[in-house]
Structure 1
Amino acid sequence: MVELVAKAKMPIRCTATQAFDAFVQPDRITSFWLKSASAPLGPGAQVEWQFMVAGASECVNVTAFERPRHIAFTWTGSGLFVDISLVEQQGGMTVVGVEVRGFDGDDAMDQIVNATEGFSIVLCDLKVFLESGRPANLVRDKAALIERTRDA
């Protein structure tokens, strides 16, 4: 059986350390992706994340932490495994890649599409945030759309 993997990748004009810290530090990750994070990510950390969609949360269990190149974690509620790689390129560019695994069930393909779309939006917002100093509010706007659709 073929493993189902959602993937997203984005070049960002920043150092790998800057991109890494944006995912690790609560004051940074809440600038572009999350509503709140209970603590910084670190080796073996368990952190509660509240997403911008009302009621959406996950407990993050960090499984790999190699500053500034790699962060991996499981979302304990969904069982999904998220792997974030950061590869610094010449010219002040870092390629941030995300792969998500662990999809199953009859709606696995829908889950993959949603994860790919979601992480693409997160990486676009991260790019704008790190390159301009402020988020584009793409994640916030998508969360509002999800809430409106859910309420309809």
Structure 2
Amino acid sequence: MKTENNKFAKAEMLIRKPVSEVFEAFVNPQITSKFWFTKGSGKLEENQKTEWTWEMYGFSLTVQTLVLQENKKIVIEWGNPDEITLVEWVFSPLNENETFVSIINSGFHGDSDKIIDQVRNSTEGFTLVLAGAKAYLEHNLQLNLVLDRFPKGLA
């Protein structure tokens, strides 16, 4: 995926686990639900649709997996039908027990203020997802970062 402008969100983090474990954590909803969404309809598969649910917010969305290169890359489309964006994960093994994960969300549409808001929200969200994944995979801790991003009464 090549971004043609600066209208994208980016979050990156080192996770001290083998690339196969980190990749599986983002493909398998039984693991992903420990740090991001609460339920997934199945594992990500190339050219297939999957539903992800955030039960705490009463929200679900369908993602379309465009690219699934084992232990290397995931690319999905997601969002409201009139606001579909791309999300790309790149998994770079640094050694047998360390993986650098880069997430880029691109394809935002709208006026400048709307795009800035989307980029900010996406950057915040994916940073929390990576921090939650790191805590879960490295230390078996569920930090509830996504749940606590919008506490009841403040959302």
TM, length-normalised to structure 2 = 0.89
Aligned sequence identity (%): 30
- 2:120 partner SS: helix
State the partner residue of 1:118: 125
Distance 1:53 1:114, change over 3 A: farther
Distance of 2:97 and 2:42 partners within structure 1:
29
TM-score, scaled to structure 1:
0.90
CA 65–5 in structure 1, closer or farther in 2 if over 3 Å, else same: same
Counterpart CA distance in 1 for 2:42 and 2:24 is 13
SS at match of 2:141: coil
Distance 1:116 1:140 in 2: 16
Correspondent of 2:116 among 109, 116, 119: 109
Partner of 2:38: 35
* Aligned positions, number: 148
Q: Which runs of 5+ in 1 are unaligned?
A: none
Contact kept in structure 2, 1:11 and 1:95, CA below 8 Å: yes
**Superposed displacement of residue 137, structure 1:** 1.6
More helix by share: 1
SS in 1 for 2:38: strand
Q: Name which of 71, 75, 89 aligns with 1:68.
A: 71
Structure 2: gaps (5+ residues): none
CA distance in 2, matches of 1:41, 1:115: 21
User: Pairwise CA RMSD of aligned residues?
Assistant: 1.6
Could you tell me how far apart the structure 1 residues matched to 2:78 and 2:56 are? 16
- In the TM superposition, residue 81 of structure 1 has moved relative to its aligned partner by 0.3
> 1:24 corresponds to which residue?
27
**Which runs of structure 1 show a deviation greater than 3 angstroms over 4 or more consecutive aligned residues?**
none
Structure 1 residue 133, shift from structure 2 partner: 1.5
Which amino acid in 1 is paired with 2:106?
Answer: R
Kept after mapping to 2: 8 A contact 1:80/1:100: yes
Find 1:92's aligned residue among 82, 92, 97: 97
Describe the SS at the equivalent of 1:44: coil
